[in-house]
């Protein structure tokens, strides 16, 4: 049984006379008495099926007249070039098969003609994704993932999967989800950091992981969720500059690739994607602080974390992707390598989009003694990290890496107001379903 031979996007007026089988949702039916239209929607667009009442089999007319919106159909018919039809062709059907009926009323309007609230859309995400503008985001996200993987593979990286159920926090913080794990205390992992570093001691040298991270913070922002997908890499015999170079080329290449393979999706979204120019500007923490202070926009002291307001000022002044480098060691995690000659300054960096942070990374501490000392200076007990520290005692190469938020990358690439628009089934303080 052939239910589909072509997607809408593959049918052109010059195929006049050929037989095709289309399948999709019944987007719209219009009954003008003497003539009937059925518009079928599939992931590539719309096709108009036209039935002149006098010349069409009665059973087909009955089927189409009884069709509820969004039912699933398969239509066999001949392509006819028709200048008046929306895409220059129409389909003259020889059979219309109903594969599944849709109830009515619909939970939301999938044609996109009627605007609706984000919450309503997320409640019925399956229906929301039928809207071309929603679906386009996730087709693009898939291309972003494909591009990132291609970049990593082309540079000799191995894809790895580390555990999401763990016994300790990455940074000893409090932002963890406890879970029940037999008779033990366990948590959902907030980052693959410790595991990807452990893997650097094995000789694998270059690893990447694309997987969920869990943060139990009670965020209520447009860029935070409690479950996010992190694109993580770790690389041996490399410093912070090496991994910044990899990060900017991976991001720029993802833009270029999306521009090449997602033309339909970008046009649905009305976007003209500009590939960010590399190398991205490097701005040290101290320079950033001076810029903000000169403009009277920062009341921070050297050593404070950069607040959101200052971040926005810097973003709007710089106006493109940039790296914030040379952070004070005390605001970056214990595993961040300090400069040899300036121990108060670290080789940690953030990749910034003008509107938000996209990634954090660093050259890591690979010396066991220094790592223990850094842990203690941040108030952590090394005993709780034995499984991690052990990997540093038997030959750990120097290494560096970063973690990039997939949702934020897609959100900023497409100019989406809310990260929830870039995540299929977002998890936040209030949302656990669907």
Catalytic residues, by residue number, are: 215, 217, 223-224, 357, 360, 408
How many helices (DSSP H) and strands (DSSP E) are in the chain?
A: 12, 16
**Least distance in Å: CB of 320 to Mg ion?**
19
Q: Determine if 360 is a binding residue for Mg ion (CB under 5 A).
A: yes
**Number of alpha carbons in the 13 Å side-chain half-sphere of residue 163:** 11
Q: Is 407 near ligand ATP (CB under 6 A)?
A: yes
Which of 328, 348, 403, 426 binds ligand ATP (CB under 6 A)? It is 403
> 359: Cβ–Cβ under 8 A, 6 or more apart, which residues?
247, 350, 351, 402, 403, 404, 405
Task: Find the shortest distance in angstroms from Cβ 336 to ligand ATP.
Answer: 11
Interface with ligand ATP (CB under 6 A), residue from 230, 325, 337, 412? 230
294: Cβ contacts below 8 Å, ≥ 6 apart: none
Asked if 235 contacts 244 with a C-beta cutoff of 8 angstroms, the reply is: no
Contact characters 307-346, Mg ion, x per CB under 5 A: ----------------------------------------
Peptide bond into 105 cis (omega under 30): yes
Q: Which of 228, 226, 227, 171 is nearest to 194 (CA)?
A: 171
What's the min distance (Å) between Cβ of 360 and ligand ATP? 3
Using alpha carbons, select from 327, 319, 324, 296 the residue that is nearest to residue 309. 296
Report d(CA 315, CA 302) in Å as an integer.
19
Q: Which of residues 253-292 bind ligand ATP (CB under 6 A)?
A: none
Residue 328 is a binding residue for ligand ATP (CB under 6 A): no
Among 27, 131, 215, 353, the residue binding ligand ATP under the rule CB under 6 A is 215
Three-state SS at 128: helix
Q: Minimum CB separation from ligand ATP for residue 228, in Å? A: 4
The CA–CA distances, whole Å, from 24 to 20, 27, 98 equal: 13, 9, 10
Contacts of 232 (CB under 8 A, 6+ apart): 191, 192, 193, 196, 208, 209, 210, 211, 401, 402, 403, 404
C-beta of 248 vs 357, nearer to ligand ATP? 357
403 binds, among Mg ion, ligand ATP, none (CB under 5 to 8 A by kind): ligand ATP
Q: Which residue is nearest to Mg ion (CB)?
A: 360
Closest CB to ligand ATP: residue number: 405
From the list 121, 366, 374, 408, which residue makes contact with ligand ATP (rule: CB under 6 A)? Answer: 408
Q: How many CA atoms lie within 13 A of 346 on its CB side?
A: 24
Given the complex with ligand ATP, which of 215 and 364 has the nearer CB atom? 215
Beta bridge partners of 231: 210, 404
Least separation in angstroms between residue 349's CB and ligand ATP is 10
Query: Between residues 257 and 327, which has the closer beta carbon with respect to ligand ATP?
Result: 327
Number of residues near Mg ion (by CB under 5 A): 1
Applying CB under 5 A, which residues contact Mg ion?
A: 360
Applying CB under 6 A, which residues contact ligand ATP?
A: 215, 219, 224-225, 228, 230, 357-360, 403, 405, 407-408, 419
């Amino acid at each position: 049984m052939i239910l589909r031979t072509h997607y809408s996007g593959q049918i052109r007026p010059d195929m006049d006379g050929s037989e095709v089988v289309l399948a999709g949702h019944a987007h719209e039916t219009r009954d003008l008495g003497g003539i009937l239209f059925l518009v079928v929607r599939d992931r590539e667009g719309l096709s108009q099926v036209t039935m002149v009442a006098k010349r069409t089999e009665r059973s087909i007319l009955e089927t189409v007249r009884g069709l509820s919106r969004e039912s699933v159909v398969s239509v066999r018919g001949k392509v006819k070039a028709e200048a008046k039809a929306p895409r220059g062709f129409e389909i003259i059907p020889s059979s219309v098969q109903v594969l599944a009926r849709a109830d009515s009323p619909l939970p939301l309007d999938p044609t996109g003609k009627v605007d609706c609230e984000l919450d309503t859309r997320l409640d019925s995400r399956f229906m929301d994704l039928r809207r071309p503008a929603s679906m386009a985001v996730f087709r693009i996200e898939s291309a972003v993932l494909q591009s990132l993987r291609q970049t990593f593979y082309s540079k000799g990286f191995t894809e790895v999967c580390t555990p999401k159920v763990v016994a300790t926090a990455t940074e000893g913080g409090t932002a963890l989800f406890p879970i029940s794990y037999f008779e033990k205390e366990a948590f959902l992992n907030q980052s693959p950091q410790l595991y990807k570093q452990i893997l650097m001691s094995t000789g694998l040298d270059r690893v990447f992981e694309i997987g969920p991270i869990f943060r139990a913070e009670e965020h209520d922002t447009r860029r935070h969720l409690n479950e996010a997908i992190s694109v993580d890499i770790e690389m041996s015999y490399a410093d912070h500059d090496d991994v910044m170079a990899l990060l900017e080329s991976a991001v720029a290449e993802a833009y270029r690739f999306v521009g090449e393979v997602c033309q339909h999706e970008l046009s649905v979204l009305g976007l003209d994607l500009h590939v960010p120019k590399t190398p991205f500007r490097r701005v040290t923490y101290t320079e950033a602080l001076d810029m903000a202070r000169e403009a009277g926009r920062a009341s921070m002291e050297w050593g404070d974390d950069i607040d959101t307001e200052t971040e926005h000022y810097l973003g709007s002044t710089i106006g493109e992707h940039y790296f914030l480098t040379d952070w004070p060691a005390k605001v970056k995690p214990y595993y961040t390598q300090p400069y040899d000659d300036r121990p108060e300054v670290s080789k940690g960096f953030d990749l910034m989009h003008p509107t938000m942070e996209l990634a954090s990374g660093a050259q890591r501490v690979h010396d066991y003694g220094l790592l223990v000392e850094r842990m203690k200076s941040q108030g952590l007990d090394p005993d709780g990290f034995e499984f991690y520290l052990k990997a540093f005692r038997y030959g750990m190469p120097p290494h560096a890496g970063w973690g990039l938020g997939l949702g934020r990358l897609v959100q900023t690439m497409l100019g989406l107001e809310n990260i929830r628009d870039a995540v299929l089934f977002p998890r936040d303080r209030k949302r656990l379903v669907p």
